[in-house]
A and B are shown apart, each in its own frame.
Chain A
C-alpha cells in the first residue's frame, strides 16, 4: 500500500536519501531515537544507528539536531480548482502543502462549479497527476451543486476515485437529505465529511457571538449553530450505522457532543484547525479580516481549551488546516464584507509547535500523531517511518525561528492567519510518496562522495 494507490501526484524520481543522525519520532510506530534514516527507491529502507548507514551514492542530509517525523496529512484543503484558480490551484496548493511538511491532502469540492460529477473528479485527478507536488485526494459533493436537495451520483463518483463526500462550505440543512446520504453510504462507501452549521442560527453572523461581537457591533454566529447540527448528525449516523467526519470543530459544546457520540459507539471522527487551537475571538477586536475572519469563527478561550482537551484525549483525531486561500481584494474590505477563510498549510506545524508544544500545553509526540491523523478517517494509510513503509517524511528544525510571510508564500494567496507572526520550528525537507517534494531554499542538501 502507498499513498499513491489512493491519491494522485505528479510522477517523479524516487528519493535516495540518508538523513544522518536525525532525531526520529513516530509515536504510532513506536520510534523515538537518533537514527540514520535511509530512504532507498522512495521507501524507508532502514533506520540505522547514528552515523552507521552506508551512503551508496544517496544524498546525505546532515540532520544532527533535526527531527524526522512521519509527514503530515491534511484532510481539509481548498485548492480552489476549478473556478478560482486566481486564489489557488493544484500546483500552488500542493506546493504549499509540501512546504508545510504534508505528504497528502484532501481537496474540498466547493469549487465553481462544485465537484459533483465523475467527469469533474477525473479531470481533477488528471490535473493532480500533471502538477501536484504531494499526493492529493478529491472529495465530491454530497448533494448536486451543493444545493442540499438531491444526492450526487455517489456510486459513480466513488468509481471515478472520489475519496469521500462533503458539501464543505455549506451545511446539509435538510435532515431528510442528510439521512438519505447516510443510508446511501452503505452502497457507495466513502466517509461523509460535514461542515456543521445551522444557517438559521448563524444568520448573517461574521464572528463568534459573545462579548467581543457585542462590543464590535458585529452579527454573531452562536456556538449552538454548530453543536446542534453535530448532535443531529451524530444521532442520524448512529441510527443509520453510517460513518461521518466532523470538520473544523470550534466550540466546546461540539467537542462534548463528539466525545459522547464516540463513547456511544457512533462511527464519528473529528478535526480541529490550527487557528482554532491557537486563537480566540479576542483577535477580532483588530477588525482584521485577512487573518481573523473565517467560518467557523474563532471562539472563546474555554472553547479553545476544550479543543485542546479533545486533541489530547482523541475526541479530535486530527489537525486539519481548512486552508482557504483568498485574494487581497476579497480581504481588503471591511470585516463584514470580507471573504471567510485563512490559509494554513505552510504554517500548521510551526504554529502548533510554537503555541502549544513549546509552552508545554501538549507533547511533541501528540502533535506529530495528530498532524497525520487525518488519513485514517478517510480509509487512507497513515504515513509511517517504520522500515518498509513508503517514504513520507517531514524533516524539521525545531529551533528555527522565522517570521511568516517574510519570504513570501508558496500558496498563491497571502491570507495566512500567521502573517507577521514569529514562529519557532520549520520544515526543511518534505518527502511525499517517496519523492522529495520540498526543500527549504536556505537549507542545502549535501551530496555523498
Chain B
C-alpha cells in the first residue's frame, strides 16, 4: 500500500492488517514510555485546509509517537491565504522530502491529486464529501474490539448522509467487513443512487430496533436555511437517537463533534452504550498503524522487541 486515499481501494485483508497493527500499538500505549523509534529521521507533513480537532491532533500525535519529525501546516495563515495553488503548496512541502503527507481538503479527489504530485505517501484525512478513510478504519477498529467481528452485523447510519464523507467511507468499510448497512435520514439528505453501494435506504427510524449499531451523523446548522430540513426541532423529533428509541443492546457511535440534543440526545451520548470516547481513543492507534503500514510496513518486518510480543499480531520495537 503506497497511499491511503479511499476505503474504496482497500480489500478486507488490507483493512484487517491495519487494524491488527493498531492492536499492537494499543499495547504500546499502555507502556510508560509510549514512543517507538520506527520513523526516526523521517518527516510527516500534515496539511489541513479545513478545521479539524480530532483528526489533525491524532495524526500529529501518531507521527510523534512513531518518532517522526512533524511539520503541521494549516491553510489559514499559510501561503494558501496568499493564493498559492494546492499543486504549488505540495511542491514546496515536497522539497523537505517528507515520508508522508496527511491532507485534509474541502474538495473531493484532492488527496488523489496530491499523490500524483509528490513522492511521499499520501494519507487522505478527508476530501470534500468524498471519503474519510482513517475515520472509517478507527470506527471498524472500535466495533471490532467491542463485537469481535462485523460479519452479519446490522449497522444503521443515520442523518445527513448527503454531506458526509464519513458516511461514505464507513458504509464501504462496514460492508467490506461483512456488515449489512442501512442509511437513514430525511429524503432530502440521502443522495440519489446511494443504493449503488449495496446499502438499504430508510426514510424513518421505524425499524431502527433491528440495528445492532447506530452510527449517527452530525447535522450542520446551515441545512435549514438551504431547506434540506424545516427545523432542528422537526429533525430531532423525527431522527434523533434518544433513550426512548434506543434499546439496551444497541451500540451508538458518532464521528464528532456532536450537536447535543439534535442528532443524539444528551443521555445517549453519556450512556454506556455510546462508543464515542472509544472512537476518539482508537483514532490515535489506528493513525499510528496507518503511518506505520505506509512508511514501514512494506519495506521491512517490524523489529521484534525483547521478551514480549508472542502471540501479538505485530511487534513494534523498543520504546524510544
Interface residue? B109 (CB, 8 A):
yes
Q: Which of B13-21, B188-196, B217-225 contacts A (4 or more CB under 8 A)?
A: B188-196
Q: How far is the CA of A217 from the CA of B164 in the complex (A)?
A: 8
Residues from chain A with Cβ under 8 Å of B194 in the complex: 211, 214-215
Residue in A222, A329, A334 whose beta carbon sits within 8 Å of that of B107 in the complex = A334
Is the beta-carbon distance between A220 and B168 smaller than 8 angstroms?
Answer: no
Contact A216/B193 with A287-B108, A334-B108 known, Cβ cut-off 8 Å: no
A287 x B193 contact (CB < 8 A): no
Residue in B128, B165, B168, B191 whose CB lies within 8 Å of A334: B128
A295→B196 CA distance, assembly (Å): 24
The smallest C-beta distance from B215 to any residue of chain A, in angstroms, reads: 17
Residues of B110-162 at the interface with A, using a CB-CB cut-off of 8 Å, are 110, 112-113, 127-131
Closest chain A residue to B192, Cβ basis: A209
* Interchain CB contact under 8 A, B107 and A337: yes
Cβ–Cβ < 8 Å partners of A332 in chain B: 85, 87, 113
**In B86-116, which residues have CB < 8 Å from any A CB?**
86-87, 105, 107-110, 112-113
Is B197's beta carbon under 8 Å from chain A?
yes
A215 touches B196 (CB 8 A): yes
Contact A287 B112 (CB under 8 A): yes
* B-contacting residues, A194-215, CB 8 Å: 209-215
Pick the contact of B108: A209, A211, A217, A222 (CB < 8 A).
A217
Q: List, in ascending order, chain B residues with CB within 8 A of A218's CB.
A: 108, 128-130
Q: Which residues of B contact A333 (CB under 8 A)?
A: 85-87, 107, 113
Q: Given the known inter-chain contacts A210-B192, A217-B128, please indicate yes or no for A334 contacting B105, CB distance below 8 A.
A: yes
* Interface range for B: 20 to 34
Given contacts A213-B191, A329-B85, contact A334 B196 (CB under 8 A): no
Q: Which residues from A are CB-within-8-Å of B168?
A: 215, 217
* A215 neighbours in B (Cβ, 8 Å): 8, 168, 193-194, 196-197
On chain B, the residues within 8 Å of A336 by CB distance are 107-108, 128
Instruction: Render A307-341 as a binary contact track against B, CB cut-off 8 A, 1 for contact.
Output: 00000000000000000000001001111110000
Chain B residues within 8 Å of A217, by CB: 108, 128-131, 164-165, 168, 191
Chain B residues closer than 8 Å to A214, beta-carbon distance: 191-194, 196-197
- Bound complex: CA A219 to CA B163 (Å): 9
A304 to B164: give the CA distance in the assembly, Å: 30
A336 to B107 CA separation, bound complex (whole angstroms): 6
Are B86 and A334 within 8 A (Cβ)?
yes
Contact between A335 and B192 (Cβ–Cβ < 8 Å)? no
In the bound assembly, the distance between CA atoms of A334 and B8 in angstroms comes to 18
**Complexed CA–CA distance, A85 and B191 (Å):** 39
Residues of A within 8 A of B196 (CB): 211-212, 214-215
Within 8 A of A (CB), among B160-215: 164-165, 168, 191-197
Complex CA distance for A164 and B109, rounded to whole angstroms = 40
Chain A residue contacts of B113, Cβ below 8 A? 287, 332-334
When C-beta atoms are compared, the residue in chain B nearest to A328 turns out to be B87
Q: Determine the chain B residues whose CB is within 8 A of the CB of A337 once the complex forms.
A: 107
- Pairwise interchain contact B87-A210, C-beta atoms closer than 8 A: no
The reply to whether B108 and A335 form a contact with Cβ atoms under 8 Å apart is: yes
Count contacts on A: residues with CB < 8 A to the other chain: 21
Q: Within the assembled complex, what's the spacing in Å between the Cα atoms of A231 and B49?
A: 42
Chain A minimum-CB-distance residue to B132:
A217
Q: Nearest B residue to A335 by beta-carbon distance?
A: B109
Known: A329-B85, A334-B86, A336-B108. A220 touches B192 (CB 8 A): yes
Which listed residue (B108, B110, B195) contacts A216, Cβ 8 A?
A: B108
* Nearest CB of chain A from residue B190's CB, rounded to whole Å: 9
Q: Shortest CB–CB separation between residue A147 and chain B, in angstroms? A: 25
Q: What is the chain B residue whose CB lies nearest that of A220? A: B192
Contacts of B87 in A (CB 8 A): 332-333
Known: A217-B129, A217-B165. A335 touches B193 (CB 8 A): no
B109 and A334 within 8 A (CB): yes
Q: Distance (Å) between the CB of B165 and the closest chain A CB?
A: 6
Q: Which residue of A lies closest to B197 (CB)?
A: A215
| Contact present for B85 and A334 (CB under 8 Å) | no
A347 vs B131: C-alpha distance when bound (angstroms): 35
Which A residues lie within 8 Å of B110 (CB)? 334
Alpha-carbon separation in the docked complex, A333 to B8 (Å): 22
Could you tell me the distance between the alpha carbons of A332 and B110 in the complex, rounded to whole angstroms?
A: 10
Would B193 and A210 count as touching, CB distance under 8 A?
yes
> Which of the listed residues B108, B110, B165, B197 has the most CB atoms from chain A within 10 Å of its own CB?
B108
Give the CA-CA distance A218 to B109 in the complex, in Å: 10
B109 touches A211 (CB 8 A): no
In the complex, A420→B74 CA distance in Å? 36
B1-20 with Cβ < 8 A to chain A: 8
A332 to B86, CA, bound (A): 9
Which A residues lie within 8 Å of B129 (CB)? 217-219
The distance from the CB of A213 to the nearest CB of chain B, in whole angstroms, is 7
Question: Which residue in chain A gives the minimum CB-CB distance to B130?
Answer: A217
Q: A211, A217, A218, A335: which has the most chain B beta carbons within 10 Å?
A: A217
A contact residues around B192 at 8 Å (CB): 209-211, 213-214, 220, 222
Contact A287 B197 (CB under 8 A): no
In the assembled complex, which residues on chain B have CB atoms less than 8 Å from the CB atom of A211? 192-196
Give the residues in chain B near A213, CB-CB below 8 Å. Answer: 191-193
Given contacts A334-B107, A336-B107, contact A216 B86 (CB under 8 A): no
Task: Tell me how far the C-beta of A326 lies from the nearest C-beta in chain B, rounded to whole angstroms.
Answer: 14
| Distance, CA A210 to CA B194, complexed state (A) | 8
Per the bound structure, the CA–CA distance linking A334 and B193 in Å amounts to: 23
A334-386: which have CB < 8 Å to B?
Answer: 334-337
CB distance from A304 to the nearest CB of B (A): 17
A276 to B194, CA, bound (A): 23
Give the residue name and chain of the B residue nearest to A336 (CB): B107
> Residue of B at shortest CB range from A208?
B193
A287: contacting residue among B85, B86, B109, B191, CB under 8 A: B109
Residues of A within 8 A of B8 (CB): 215
Q: Which residues of A contact B127 (CB under 8 A)?
A: 334
In the complex, residue of chain A having the shortest beta-carbon distance to the beta carbon of B111? A334
Bound-state CA distance A222–B105 (Å) is: 25
Interface residues of A in 216-271 (CB under 8 A from B): 216-220, 222
B residues with a Cβ closer than 8 A to A are 8, 85-87, 105, 107-110, 112-113, 127-131, 164-165, 168, 191-197
Could you give 29 example pairs across A and B, Cβ below 8 Å? A210-B192, A211-B192, A211-B195, A211-B196, A212-B196, A214-B194, A215-B168, A215-B196, A215-B197, A217-B128, A217-B131, A217-B165, A217-B191, A218-B108, A218-B130, A222-B192, A287-B109, A329-B85, A332-B85, A333-B85, A333-B86, A333-B107, A334-B113, A334-B127, A334-B128, A335-B107, A335-B108, A336-B107, A336-B108
In the A-B complex, the 6 residue pairs with the smallest Cβ-Cβ separation, listed nearest first, are: A211-B193, A217-B129, A287-B109, A334-B107, A211-B196, A214-B191
| Chain A residues close to B by CB (< 8 Å) | 209-220, 222, 287, 329, 332-337
**Apart from A333-B86, A336-B107: 4 A-B pairs, beta carbons within 8 A:** A214-B192, A332-B85, A334-B105, A334-B127
